Amino acid sequence: MSKTNEGSVLTQLFKTFFGKHWPVWVGGILLGFLNILLFAIKSPWGASGGIGNWGENIYSVLGVFSLENVTATNASLYGMLCLMIIVGSFIGALFSKDFALRIPPKGEMIKGLLGGILMAIGATIGLGCTIGAFFSGVPALSGGAIIFSFALMVGVIVALRYLMWEMEKFPKWSSGKSYTWFSAKGKGRTHTILGWVMVVGVGVLAYSYTKSLQTMTWFVIVGALFGLISQRSRFCIVKAFRDPLMTGESHGAVGVIAGLMIALFGFTAIKYFGIGVDVTSLRAREMTWVFPHFWAKAAIGGVIFGIGMTIAGGCAVGTLWRIGEGQFKLWLSGIGFLLMAPISKLFLVPKVDGILPQSMKFKSFLPDYIGYGGSFALVVAILLFWYWFVKWNEKTGKFSAF
């Protein structure tokens, strides 16, 4: 093969990945497989803990709240995983010429910050976000995750009604001066070169952990892939919940359902066969990502998180990859989230825990009640119903606002 042909083949391959956005279901399936990989290595995907870790580090450096036992972000698996999602998305956005620093009108910035604060409150009370307590929690066969999912939907409905009211009554809140800087010019060579520099940087960072903390090497690589895949496929859980009720479109929901279905198979196998039990007890492995939030904590946290993510326009992962893409509104959501999470954990959560009895905040592992087969069938039935609903609603528009 001539050099020219090799060049054109590689160019074609590059265009395949970065020319157009990928279907969301492709992203969902890939993220589902990577989530299984992460669980096989250590534990499933989570986001709110990692973002909270950043906030704790900031307060620790500032000497505020006298936080003890704060893990430095460069030693925190989930702190680094979240950071790498931003980096991975940044790389994807640079290669595809999607990157630009986008400063929205003032009203949108306020909503971004407020949404992030609400997400932090929801995640700390509900012990998880759209990733840990939903995208990983549901395949982990957690009863609390099922409650959290329905509560998210309630939050999305409430916040969507608010957004429509705002657009009708106060349209100026989402309009006004905006700025777009650093967008790709021409063929976007500068962006592409910077993208390759970032790829090398990820490789060097991953290699730097190979002698001290091998698990981190994997978390760095998988985190960057999470970010890149999410950005390219525009994988966003708020979209999955919101769009069927807004414009009636189902592709976001189908992508999330695909990812959940893939992860369900892998997670069930890991738990059922006790894969990874040499480093922990079988019971501990089974209870991985089954949090003590059934049912009230999951319900309260889910509703608040659902409202927050809809106002912000990005769930946990949606916020992270949009930060990497240069969406300033989501930068503010991230800042609101990381600054509020430690405050909520210190002052709000103990109050909620003090009010709720133990029967409203326990670990509910579905196979303990209905066996592995029953739990698997229940989750599959819920996912199939969701799929049927969004497709039926897309055709009929019965539950769509527009």
How many residues contact other proteins, by CB under 8 A? 42
Identify whether the C-beta of residue 299 lies closer than 8 Å to the C-beta of residue 145: no
Pick 46 or 188: Cβ nearer other proteins: 188
Task: Name which position in 52, 191, 206, 234 contacts other proteins (CB under 8 A).
Answer: 234
For residue 46, give both structure tokens. Answer: 């989570």
Instruction: CB nearer to other proteins: give 52 or 248.
Output: 248
Q: Phi and psi for 292 in degrees, rounded to 5?
A: -80, 70
| Closest among 224, 255, 227 to 28, alpha carbons compared | 255
- Examine residue 194 and tell whether it contacts other proteins (CB under 8 A): no
Part in contact with other proteins (CB under 8 A); list of ranges 48-56, 203-211, 238-246, 272-280: 238-246
Q: Which stretch binds other proteins (CB under 8 A): 35-43, 206-214, 216-224, 245-253?
A: 245-253
- Residue 402 contacts other proteins per CB under 8 A: yes
Q: Give the whole-angstrom CA distance, residue 261 versus residue 138.
A: 10
The token duo for 142 is 């957690």
Which of 31, 103, 270, 317 touches other proteins by CB under 8 A?
103
Residue that the structure tokens 């759209």 belong to: 130
CB closer to other proteins out of 42 and 106:
106
Given the complex with other proteins, which of 114 and 163 has the nearer CB atom? 163
The helix-helix angle for 237-246 and 316-325 (nearest 10°) equals 100
Residue 285, helix vs strand vs coil? helix
- Does a cis peptide bond (omega within 30 degrees of 0) precede residue 196? no
For other proteins, the closer CB: 286 or 394: 394
Smallest distance from other proteins to CB 298, Å: 25
Q: Minimum CB separation from other proteins for residue 254, in Å? A: 11
Dihedral sign (CA 130, 136, 141, 144): negative
Nearer to other proteins, 221 or 311 (CB): 311
Least distance from C-beta 310 to other proteins, angstroms? 8
In the region spanning residues 135 to 164, those forming contacts with other proteins, defined by CB under 8 A, are: 163-164
Rank residues 184 and 340 by Cβ distance to other proteins and give the closer one: 184
104 scored as a contact of other proteins (CB under 8 A): yes
| Nearest residue (CB) to other proteins, 152 versus 379 | 152
Helix or strand holding residue 381 (H, E): helix 367-396
In single-letter form, the type of residue at position 258 comes to A
By CB under 8 A, tell whether 192 contacts other proteins.
Answer: no
Does residue 174 belong to the site contacting other proteins (CB under 8 A)? yes
- Crossing angle of helices 106-126/48-62, nearest 10°? 100
What distance lies between CA 243 and its chain's CA centroid? 17
Q: What share of the chain is helix, strand, coil (3-state, %, to 5)?
A: 75, 5, 25
Which residues 302-341 are close enough to bind other proteins by CB under 8 A?
313-314, 322, 325, 327, 329-330
Q: Is 102 in the site for other proteins (CB under 8 A)?
A: yes
Among 364, 257, 311, 253, which Cα is nearest to 121's?
311
Contacts 24+ apart (CB under 8 A), 196-201: 198/87, 198/90, 198/91, 198/94, 199/91, 201/87
Q: Cα angle vertex 81, ends 139, 144, to 5°? A: 30
Residue 74 or 183: which CB sits closer to other proteins? Answer: 183
Q: Which two tokens stand for residue 158?
A: 């409430």
215 counts as binding other proteins under rule CB under 8 A: no
Q: Which is nearer to other proteins, 241 or 376 (CB)?
A: 241
Element holding 288 (H helix, E strand): none
Of the residues 40, 41, 71, 105, which one makes contact with other proteins according to CB under 8 A: 105
> From the list 70, 100, 339, 380, which residue makes contact with other proteins (rule: CB under 8 A)?
100
First to last CA, the chain: 54
Closest distance to other proteins from the beta carbon of 35 (Å): 23
Interaction site with other proteins (CB under 8 A): 20-21, 93, 96, 98, 100, 102-105, 108, 163-164, 167, 174-175, 177-180, 183-184, 234, 236, 239, 242-243, 246-249, 251, 313-314, 322, 325, 327, 329-330, 394, 401-402
